[in-house]
Amino acid sequence: MLEPHGAHLTYCTNIHPGESLADVRHALSVLVPEVKQKVSPRADFGVGLRLSAQAASELEVPFVLDDLRALLAREGLYVFTLNGFPYGAFHATRVKERVYLPDWLEDRRVTYTRTLAQVLAALLPPGVPGSISTVPGAFAPRASAPDAGRRLALNIVRSAAELVQLERTTGKTITLALEPEPACFLERSAQAVRFFEENVWSREARAELVRLTGLDEAEAERALRRHVGICLDACHGSVEFERPRDALATLLAAGIAVPKIQISTGLKLTAPDAATLDALRAFDDGVYLHQTVIKAKNRQELAHFVDLPAALAAAADLGAGAEWRVHFHVPVFESRLGPFSSTQDELIELLSEAPELAPHLEVETYTFDVLPPEYRIGSVTDAVARELTWTLGMLARRSSRNEA
């Protein structure tokens, strides 16, 4: 659906378990319409569709894709963005660091992204640009070699070439959006800027796109800037103690496309006592990686932990008065969950104060089913509808201030 300042607003269907096309069809025919009825009963409702490699491959058969398009039309839905981050199983199993595999060091990531782009080009309404969010290069330990940035960029260029060709043949413009995340090759906006300037826009990358597409060098640079950008996840920035508003400003000032913002919040603990830290253990669900960043009271550098158990084990060494940020997506409408607060204040700042926002806005709270039971608010569709309503309220306030 279009929100007040003209962007497409949705939520990501990765909140609904399912890896097969049958699972996707169930979500689109039952669960997403429930949300639509609560939030946008009369207007068409945009979908942020998560497609696993399995579901994407099932859609490569033309008549199957036609059938999905017909289902979307019947339900008053349209797809404008895909979540191409998790390749395989994403619920009810240990995901952890496997969520980044295959990464941009591997051909399988290029092949998967090509399929996603072809599906999205077939589903995009006329005149609507598309975006595909993807892994931030690789999990950091996988990208420690000196030439990792170059190797990642050259595979990304291969995908950019596919997007150039799709634009030529279909008229649809799609941008691949890498999503910085703690403990990954790309974590903060400054790293993204350096990667784009040194690798994605390098002479070698431009020459490779020229070779793959036949564009001249100037056209190749413009194509890279149009087809490769960043998906800014607000929770990830806040966990890194980088205000999402500032991260967005840094990326845009560097000329990096930001086609998609994921509207999300994480856990925040200020000077937690022993009882609060003990209660935090309930968020160690065993499924997802919960990177934790801690600002100790008397230390200059932030303490980074790949997962929550390691942070809890080191709590005594960090001393009292520390501030904790935990990568656990919590409902955006909640500023507090029991003894914990959230990074909602920084999300509000982004939505209300950033000079501009992305054309695609996507609420993403995929951890709803592993939230401790006392923090789950009704059904999943109720929670999603409440998140979208809250977001619409924030955006309406932004529009009112801009008009005043």
pLDDT for position 92: 77
Half-sphere exposure of residue 90, counting CA atoms within 13 Å on the CB side? 27
**Residue 404 predicted with pLDDT over 60:** no
150 falls within a domain = yes
| Mode of pairing for the β-strands spanning 257-263 and 360-363 | parallel
Residue 117 has a pLDDT of 98
Most confident of 224-238, 287-301, 308-322: 224-238
Is 216 part of any domain?
yes
pLDDT level of residue 401 (50, 70, 90 thresholds):
low
Please tell me the distance from the alpha carbon of residue 181 to that of residue 237, in angstroms, as a whole number.
Answer: 8
Closest CA to 365 of 345, 347, 339: 347
98/3: higher pLDDT: 98
Using a cut of 0.85, tell me whether the model's pTM lies above it. Answer: yes
How confident is the model at residue 320, as a pLDDT? 86
166 found inside a domain: yes
Q: In what order do the strands lie in the sheet with 292-295?
A: 303-305, 292-295, 323-330, 265-270, 340-342, 336-337
Tell me how many helices (H) and strands (E) the chain has: 16, 14
- Per the domain annotation, does 331 fall within a domain? no
The per-residue pLDDT for 377 is 81
User: How sure is the predictor about 27, in pLDDT bands with cuts at 50, 70 and 90?
Assistant: very high
* Whole-number Å distance between alpha carbons of 372 and 336: 14
Domain-embedded: residue 157: yes
In angstroms, the CA 31 to CA 38 distance is 11
Report the largest interatomic distance among the alpha carbons of the chain, rounded to a whole angstrom. 62
**CATH number of the domain that residue 169 is part of:** 3.20.20.150
Residue of 229, 230, 203, 198 lying closest to 218 (CA atoms): 203
Task: Identify whether 358 is part of a domain.
Answer: yes
- Tell me what percent of the residues of the chain surpass a pLDDT of 70: 98
Coil/strand/helix, residue 94 = coil
- pLDDT value, residue 136: 98
Looking at the structure of the chain, the number of domains it has is: 1
> Tens digits of per-residue pLDDT, 136-155?
999 999 999 999 999 999 99
| Tens of pLDDT, residues 183-232 | 999 999 999 999 999 999 999 999 999 999 999 999 999 999 999 999 99
pLDDT at 165 over 60: yes
Confidence of residue 62 (pLDDT cuts 50, 70, 90): confident
Residue range 311-340: mean pLDDT, rounded: 95
Q: Is the pLDDT of residue 112 over 90?
A: yes
Output phi, psi for 228, to 5 deg.
Answer: -130, 125
**Number of CB atoms found within 10 A of residue 306's CB:** 18
* Residue-wise pLDDT tens digits, 250-284: 999 999 999 999 999 999 999 999 999 999 999 99
pLDDT for 4 equals 65
Q: Can you give the residue range of the structural domain that contains 141?
A: 8-265+344-403
Within a domain: 116: yes
Give the pairing of strands 265-270 and 323-330.
antiparallel
